Amino acid sequence: MNFAALNHIVENNPELIEENVPAGGNAAAAVGVARRLLGINGNVDGLTENQRYHYENYIRPLIENVSCTGIFSSEGEDGCVGGGTIDDEDLEGCYILDEMLCQECQNVQDRMRDD
């Protein structure tokens, strides 16, 4: 669990959680669970079974093992030059920049910008 990233999402971009909830699901409840998690310092054990369902399905994918979107996105390929996932320590920065790139892709992109 990346608490800093969770905090950033809830405060600035709760739509990311809502978008994970399928039609017919309770998007407001999922955001509510995220807020509750912040209130209990990210202690998942403090959630009810129902809340934990929201966490596992709609919130956790945003703050753990998040996929890199890649920089060379072409047909059929994700375009990531690194390991495919974003390091935990880089995750909050990715949300702040709104660029979901792993360190390797970030480096390549920086180099391309410099050229």
Residues that bind Zn ion (CB under 5 A): 68, 80, 82, 102, 105
**What is the closest distance, in whole angstroms, from the C-beta atom of residue 20 to Zn ion in the complex?**
21
- 58 exposure class (CB count in 10 Å sphere: 0-12, 13-18, 19+): buried
As measured in angstroms, the least distance from the Cβ of 56 to Zn ion is 25
Nearest residue to 44 via CA among 95, 2, 16, 90? 2
Cβ-based nearer residue to Zn ion, 34 or 102: 102
What is the C-alpha end-to-end distance of the chain, expressed in Å?
A: 37
* Shorter beta-carbon distance to Zn ion: residue 17 or 102: 102
Q: Which is nearer to Zn ion, 32 or 84 (CB)?
A: 84
Which of 38, 37, 30 minimizes the C-alpha distance to 14? 30
Shortest Cβ distance from residue 114 to Zn ion (Å)? 18
